[in-house]
Structure 1
Amino acid sequence: MSVDDLPLFAWRPKVKVLAFPPARRARLVRITAVRLLTEEDGEAQAEAMKTVGRDLSAAGLSDAEAWPYLWDLHKAIQAEIGRLAGWDKPHRGRR
């Protein structure tokens, strides 16, 4: 009897918590936001999403389980674009 024959040793727990959520990857978020602001094509965000999607599937998440993490990453990138472009500053009218 080998270790592979024993169901207890073949069992793998489902992933519940990621050690480092994608939306908290500040470097990835900043680089993607800068690329989106400076480059003509919109491939930067698609590349970031593919990279993170591969990481999440390697961690054992299904597409349905990975979707909220990818959505949070999208929102973080959009917020960073707003911060870099100055959209987060309050508008001051003339006095």
Structure 2
Amino acid sequence: MKKTVIALSLCCAALFSMLLWQQFSAPAVTASEALTAQEQEDKPLYMVRVTDGVLAIYPYGSDTAAEVTDIRLSSLRAYDQKLMQQGFPLYSEQELASFLEDFGS
């Protein structure tokens, strides 16, 4: 019985030591690093803009279109026209594919 109590105490001490080591050895993330990661998640991959009366897909931050569509601005509803004239962000490849499918039909 005494040996069991000692063995159990040693196991608990070892487990507690491992938890402490894991807690304090993990790299700390600074507030500026966390903000940068959040900003990257919020930044779109593409912007849809109007170019010569049609919609064009631009990589975010670029002035060179990656794709110029045959979707005429005049073929869209007034609300969609206003959105496209302001610039419409797309945050993933999936959003880009859905956008082209929805507006290209």
**TM-score normalised over the length of structure 1:** 0.28
**TM-score normalised over the length of structure 2:** 0.26
The structure whose RCO (Cα within 8 Å, separation 6+) is larger is: 1
The structure whose residues are more often strand, as a share, is 2
The structure whose residues are more often helix, as a share, is 1
